[in-house]
Amino acid sequence: MAGVLIKNIKKSYGATEVIHGIDLEIKTGEFVVFVGPSGCGKSTLLRMIAGLESITSGDMYIGEERVNDIPPSQRGIAMVFQSYALYPHMSVYDNMAFGMKIAKAPKAEIEKRVKAAAEILQLTPYLDRLPKALSGGQRQRVAIGRAIVRDPKVFLFDEPLSNLDAALRVATRIEIAKLKESMPESTMIYVTHDQVEAMTLADRIVVLSAGHIEQVGAPIELYEKPANLFVAQFIGSPAMNIQPAKIDKTGEKTTIRLGKTRADLPIPSPAEMAGKEVRLGVRPEDLTIATNGNGLFDGRVNIVESLGEVTNVYLDVENVPDPVIVKLPGVQRFNRGETVSLAADPGKLHLFNESGRSLLYLDGAQG
Amino acid sequence: MSTAVGKRPALVWAVNLTVLLLVVIWTVPTFGILISSLRDKDQIAVSGWWTALFPSEQNIVARTAPPADAVEEDGRWVLRGNVFEGGSGRISAFGVSIQRPSEFEPGTQAEMRGGGTLTVDKNGDYVLAFEEQPEGRRGERIFVTSLEPPKFTLDNYRTVLFSEGIGQSFINTLTVTIPATVIPILIAAYAAYALSWMQFPGRALLLATVVGLLVVPLQMSLIPLLRLYNDVGIGKSYIGIWLAHTGFGLPLAIYLLRNYIAGLPREIIESARVDGASDFEIFRKIVLPLSFPALASFAIFQFLWVWNDLLVATVFLGNNEEQLVMTGRLRELLGSRGGNWEILTASAFVAIVVPIIVFFALQRYLVRGLLAGSVKGG
Amino acid sequence: MAVSTTAGPSASASELGSLFTTALLTLFIMVAGIVVSVAFAAGAYFLISLVLPAYKLIGAVAVMVLGVAACFGYFWGSNRILDTIYPASGANIAANLTKANAIRPWLFLGPAIVILTLYLVYPVINSIWLSFHGPTGQAWVGTSNYEWLAADDGFRESMRNNILWLIVVPAAATFFGLIAAALTDRIAWGNIAKSLIFMPMAISFVGASVIWKFIYDYRPPGTEQIGVLNAIVTSMGGEPQAWLTIPLWNNFFLMVVLIWIQTGFAMVILSAALRGIPEETIEAAIIDGASPFQIFYKIKVPQIWGTIAVVWTTITILVLKIFDIVLTMTNGQWGTQVLANYMFDWMFRGLDFGRASTIALIIMIMVVPIMIWNIREARKDMK
């Protein structure tokens, strides 16, 4: 079993560079998820690990071996594709056995491994069927089974759930989590644009944007301590509200001024930030209605979305161009145009400097 | 469309009738030679083939058995028999004098001039009865108007297949066609795979060249190749024509197959690559089986084209019994037996029957191939 | 071919050197593959022909099987040689793979490139060369073939007829095809109708010529006409005509044959295009109150112009090469000569390869605009 080490990897198509020097270490047995908006380079990075895309510069190691020029089949990886990529003219059994047949493995060995994988994935009754006779979820399991049969050091998943309907997606997600648990030594790398998949499956999440890594960290770390505005707004739904504020006092704690009100935040700030403009971030679920009149800021109710379990309120707030969203538990009633005062626990507020970096990570660390 | 309310019945009728007219115009010519090829050769020359479809009215003069053969029945002397003498037909009228050959309805009784009464039934059975024992060696003449059913025969086919050389030509055509269909498929499939899924410099240029060669008229190639063949010593041989058809068919084959193979899902090819398959194995185990519809399309194209070809065969094959293909034979017959429609129609039908069978059996693939080859640019 | 196209413009000297060795190696492997597989197949054929009696059909089947086997043997063998030279394992795996991947495409393409070059590219060049030479292709005659052509009556007649064919046949076949496609899509038995209208596609030009010659058959007045056309004319009180000998008009009687064959082709393609039109645009037009005819001409046809153009050009190319029908029905007599048949005439009856090549070149030149258009469309598609 092996980890993956990526050193200053770059990728260009002709003159356009799409991956701008990525460094990342993935340890043996880790479940790492790459997330990011479409076009951020997450799939390209995964395909470079697989060997389906050539590496323009930098070094890639799987285990101890530098794999830059090693063909996919000899890297010790297996890949589950978004469209499953099952061979339509082969039975489930042959699909799973194909790689070993190519490698000229003994028949008995092939049969043993295929049967074992089929057992794990409850595919045994379907081994003789063609892929077209299977449901979407079953096809997905065959694709995973094909990967298991290869007994790889590293599993690669390229958006494996995005072709499934919502209910099946949840079920298969749980199955993948169980699979990981049953194979603690296998390294798994998983690409998705769905943050729920990322949050629920990952040991660590790698957030990518425009060919850069924005932040690497455990799911809750990314949620609680986003390193920059991009991560802050990418993780969490609805996205974090951002509004301008001014630093009044620096030190162990930072005092900010927001319109007429002030707040003390348990975030340290350096002295040279005094008087600077900053961006205050607050998650919709961290905002509450202030009943005693001393809220952080006021807003006018614009749109109310009642979802039953929660109510999302969209408010117009002075000096904030986008509506501020408040996510309140249960069913709540508001009148359009009504002014409400909003409060938040200072410990759940986030501060970003004008270049978008969180004040928690000013030393340059990426978490 | 068809579910929209307020359809106009007149329009529906007009549409149906127009299509019917089109279908009739497009099928009648072929139908005509099919019918003619099954007709008696003397009839083809004197009446239109469409008359053969309906019973024809004919005037026959039959003669009864000699009166001396009459037998006594219930005190009368009776002669019985059938006017068709072993054949069959339906009588619409009969008569006893040449002036009025259709004077009587079948089943009625006619008075003979020489005495006696005659009855002819619809099926041709006649009864001639006399009061007294007749004499004489000559039978009486009976005039009948009969409706003869359409008469068909396979004689023309027997003639063309065994004595006009069509049978031999059929085998020659088969000998040309099968290899000339199969060989280009394999060569083109490999090239199409390389053009779809392999990276190499000059790929775009090669593709453009193939598209360009798609329309090069084959007249261009005849003289240079004929000279080349004579120089090399292949001359007029089957090898030569197989290769020629392969060459002329390749651009379309590569183009069709590339369109199809390039459209296969990228992930399947990549998955095979991750599974450790080489390009050669990917082609053989994944691409070839998945491309079956495209291969079938091209195979039908090439089959029809080679089977129906006259020009290439005329130039690259000899004019002798051993090598003359069916189209060539047909052309020769048109020259030498221009008026013998029984030979021409039967030969033509033998020549077109195989492509037509292939056509109806595999139309689905042919249509798919046409669409792949045409709608996208080519 | 492989040598010239692999070289990039900015290759440095050492790159050029390695490119050269790669190209040489490619060539070597290709030749080795071809020689070995052909030798094997020829040997097998020889053995088979020793054992089996000389039935032609068996011979043909044997050659077919062996030809395919040789083909496959070439691909298998050449790939095998490549993998032996550059194995995908061991210490040099990366370098080996790079080198093998540079060669392999050319092994796949090899036979196709050789055959295309020999059968289509070389003849074009050779024809140009021949067009400046005498009847046997030996004496240089300068432009005299072209001068002869410019003044030749037969050529003028062929050009006139070819242009007539070019105007009438693609237009008529596309028109009937469009009508048939539009109408058959609206009726219950449309698929059967389509099959029947499409069927002439399967019939050879020679077969079709026999079929139509029978329709145009002429018997002197007074006797019973056995050709459908004359039977119709006489039944309506007209005089029977020898249709194929009426100057100018006979061209149109020949064109009918090709229109009859090609309408099915146009219909199939256009019918697919018509069905590809988004249903919503038609429904929107119905709601806007358009009549069925307006829908057809103003909504449907404009959306399939591209396909109509493709059908038109495809038939145009076919018409430029039209040969069999003229050869078998009139052999160019009574003013029905066309370029391809005229070329054939000079090739086999005139035995003048120079003049025949010149005529072939004229056909080629007429195809060139379509060729360029096709290439441009295809390049757009591939982007």
Under the banding of pLDDT at 50, 70 and 90, the label for residue B378 is: very low
What is the per-residue pLDDT for A73? 83
> Average pLDDT in the B8-33 region?
85
CA-atom Rg of chain A in angstroms: 24
**B278: closest chain A residue by CA:** A102
pLDDT in tens, A317-365: 887 888 889 998 888 888 888 888 888 888 888 888 888 888 887 765 4
- Residue A167 structure tokens: 């209910």
H or E element, residue B130: strand B125-130
Question: Residues C26, C82: contact at Cβ < 8 Å?
Answer: no
Q: Residue A364: what pLDDT? A: 52
Least confident of B37-46, B259-268, C64-73: B37-46
Q: How confident is the model at residue B92 (pLDDT cuts 50, 70, 90)?
A: confident
State both tokens at C335. 């003013």
Cα angle at C240 between C237 and C246, to 5 degrees?
Answer: 130
Global confidence as pTM:
0.80
Q: How many C-beta neighbours within 10 Å does residue A279 have? A: 17
Lowest average pLDDT, out of A41-50, A356-365, B305-314, goes to A356-365
Report the SS3 class of residue C9: coil
**Residue contact C204–B198, C-beta within 8 A:** no
Contacts of B239 in chain C (CB under 8 A): 63
Write the single-letter amino acid at A36: G
The percentage of chain A sitting over the pLDDT mark of 90, rounded to a whole number, equals 14
| Candidate ranges A297-301, B157-161, C96-100; pick with highest mean pLDDT | A297-301
pLDDT for res B361: 86
Torsion angle of the four alpha carbons A67, A68, A69, A73, in this order, in degrees rounded to the nearest 10: 50
Q: Contact C98/A74, CB-based, under 8 Å? A: no
Whether the pLDDT of residue A211 is over 80: the answer is: yes
Chain C CB contacts of B225 below 8 Å: 119, 123
Q: Which residue of A has its CA nearest to B266?
A: A85
> Searching chain B, which residue's CA lies closest to the CA of residue A143?
B271
What does residue B251 show for φ and ψ, rounded to 5 degrees? -55, -45
**Beta-carbon-side half-sphere exposure of residue A262 (alpha carbons within 13 Å):** 8
Residue A71 at interface with chain C, using a CB cutoff of 8 Å: yes
How many whole angstroms separate alpha carbon C264 and alpha carbon A31?
60
Tell me the one-letter amino acid at B128.
L
Nearest to C104 by CA among C37, C33, C12: C33
Partner-chain residue, chosen from B267, B268, B276, that has the shortest CB–CB distance to A73: B276
Banded model confidence at residue A206, pLDDT cuts 50, 70, 90: very high
Sketch the domain layout of chain B as residue ranges. Answer: 55-148, 158-374
Q: What is the pLDDT of residue B2?
A: 47
Closest residue in chain A to residue C98, using alpha carbons only: A69
Q: Is C91 on the interface with A (CB under 8 A)?
A: no
Interface test with B, best of A54, A75, A81 (most B CBs within 10 A): A81
Determine the 3-state secondary structure of A289 from DSSP. Answer: strand
Contact call for A74 and B276, based on CB within 8 A: yes
Class of domain B158-374: mainly alpha
In sequence order, the β-bridge partners of residue A208 are A213
Confidence of residue A205 (pLDDT cuts 50, 70, 90): very high
C-beta neighbour count of B57 within 10 angstroms: 12
> What residues pair up with A19 in beta bridges, in sequence order?
A11
| Residue in C63, C347, C364 closest to B179 by CB | C63
pLDDT at C1: 34
**What pLDDT score was predicted for residue A350?**
87
* Least confident window among A351-360, B36-45, B279-288, B360-369: B36-45
Task: Determine how many CB atoms are found less than 10 A away from the CB of residue C183.
Answer: 21
Given pLDDT bands bounded at 50, 70 and 90, which one contains residue B6?
low
Alpha-carbon distance values, C344 to A346, B247, C75, C144 (Å):
95, 20, 38, 20
Q: Which residues, 6 or more positions from B89, have their beta carbon under 8 angstroms from its beta carbon?
A: B124, B146, B147, B148, B149
Cβ atoms of A180 and A174 closer than 8 Å: no
Q: Which residues of B are less than 8 Å from C187 in CB distance?
A: 12, 15-16, 19
CB pairs under 8 A between A and B: 59
Angstroms from B250 CA to nearest CA on chain A: 27
Using 50, 70 and 90 to split pLDDT, how confident is the model at B192? Answer: very high
Residue A1 forms contact with C (CB below 8 Å): no
Residues A171/A13, Cβ–Cβ less than 8 Å: no
Q: Minimal CA–CA distance to A350: which of A213, A220, A232?
A: A232
Ranges of residues in chain C with a pLDDT under 50 are 1-11
Residue from B267, B274, B285 whose CB has the most chain A CBs within 10 Å, to mutate: B274
Residues of chain A positioned with their CB less than 8 A from the CB of B276: 71-74, 99, 102-103
Is A103 in Cβ contact with B271 (below 8 Å)? no
pLDDT of C259: 92
A54/B47: higher pLDDT: A54
Strand locations in B131-184, DSSP E? 141-148
**Statement: residue A34 has pLDDT above 90:** yes
Residue A314 has pLDDT above 80, yes or no: yes
Interface of B with A (CB under 8 A): 265, 267-268, 270-277, 281, 285-286, 289-290
Residue-level pLDDT at C175:
92
Helix H or strand E encompassing B190? helix B166-197
How close does chain C come to A113, measured CA to CA in Å?
25
Is C93 within 8 Å of chain A by CB?
A: yes
By Cβ distance, the residue of B267, B276, B281 closest to A85 is: B267
Flag if C93 and A68 touch (Cβ within 8 Å): no
Cα gap B51→B46, rounded to integer Å = 10
Backbone φ, ψ for residue A365 (5° rounding) = -65, 150
* Contact yes or no for B245/B306 (Cβ under 8 A): yes
CA distance C101 to chain A (A): 11
Could B223 and C127 be called an inter-chain contact, meaning their C-beta atoms sit closer than 8 Å? yes
Residues of A in contact with C94 (CB under 8 A): 68-70
What is the arrangement of strands in the sheet containing A350-352, beginning at the earlier edge strand? A261-265, A254-258, A241-249, A277-282, A350-352
Q: How far is C363 from chain B (nearest CA, A)?
A: 7
pLDDT computed for residue C129 by the predictor: 86
Identify the structural domains of chain A with CATH numbers, from first to last.
4-233 (3.40.50.300), 241-358 (2.40.50.140)
Angle among Cα C59, C60, C65 to the nearest 5 degrees reads 100
Residue type, B7: K
pLDDT for B76 equals 78
Query: So where are chain C's domains?
Result: 2-130, 146-382
Nearest CA in chain A to B269: A85
Four-way CATH pick for C146-382: 3.40.50.720, 3.65.10.10, 3.30.465.10, 1.10.3720.10: 1.10.3720.10
Task: Kindly report, residue by residue over A237-260, the tens digit of the pLDDT.
Answer: 888 988 888 888 888 888 888 877
Query: A157 or C144, which is more confident?
Result: A157
B118-123 long-range contacts, CB within 8 A, separation 24+: B118/B94, B118/B142, B120/B83, B120/B91, B120/B94, B120/B144, B121/B91, B122/B90, B122/B91, B123/B82, B123/B88, B123/B90, B123/B91
pLDDT on residue C8: 43
pLDDT computed for residue C171 by the predictor: 93
A131 upstream amide cis, omega within 30 of 0: no
Q: Which runs of E-coded beta strand occur in chain A?
A: 4-13, 16-26, 31-35, 57-62, 65-66, 77-80, 154-158, 187-191, 204-209, 212-217, 241-249, 254-258, 261-265, 277-282, 287-289, 297-306, 310-316, 324-329, 339-344, 350-352
- Contact state of C93 with A70 under an 8 Å Cβ cutoff: yes
pLDDT tens digit sequence for A278-293: 888 889 988 888 877 6
C-alpha separations of A330 from A62, A237, A307 in Å: 49, 17, 8
